[in-house]
Structure 1
């Protein structure tokens, strides 16, 4: 299930785990309000760039 463009951080999640889950390698660049990628907390709202579908 793809992630929504606006994502609310859940308990125990990190930017790295959300990036893996949502397929967004640019998650830190999309969220300049997050100064420390290790300092995210439940309820924090971040922006996700959904992956584009692959063309065959």
Structure 2
């Protein structure tokens, strides 16, 4: 379980970074719809990892 959660966390973080690096609509102040979704997935994985 822990390994699966870690893999999900790392995958979400990588997807979030990749999108942020290429999306012209995302910035530190705001995210596009896709960026918001990826950020939510990353935060969800992070919070589950902390439990």
| TM-score between the two structures when normalised by the length of structure 1 | 0.24
| TM-score between the two structures when normalised by the length of structure 2 | 0.25
